[in-house]
Amino acid sequence: MRPLAGILGTAWLAFAAGCGTAEARAIRCLFTEPSAILIWRPAARSLTIEDPVTDYPNVRRETVRPVTARRLARGRIDLVAPDGRVLLQLTRDGRGSDGMSDRRYPYSAGNPREQNRDGGCFPVS
């Protein structure tokens, strides 16, 4: 049953992101101040958190599994750790920002682990 759930999760992600199933294997989120990259892989039920700054030139990586996607109203998805903590809040609103450029991303993201930390997210293959 888990492989089917992963396939359905990937298909839902692709639909929500507005791209084909084969194209959307993950959602990548970019944050600044402090810098971080979060990668959600629905089929693997994982969220990888990368910090490229703190231990430069080394990159700190933490992967949380299994991550549950809690779908809420108005296109919002909360990614929840096994202990119940909300790790990432995604909203498909076209207003995501990496904090460094004028580029807008399909998803805006909130990182509850850091106060006043907003980011921008996009589907990746």
Q: What's the Rg (C-alpha) of the chain?
A: 14
Q: Mean pLDDT, the chain, as a whole number? A: 82
Query: Between residues 1 and 33, which one has the greater pLDDT?
Result: 33
- Minimal CA–CA distance to 6: which of 56, 77, 67, 59? 67
Predicted pLDDT at 24: 67
Give the highest mean pLDDT range of 56-60, 91-95, 109-113.
91-95
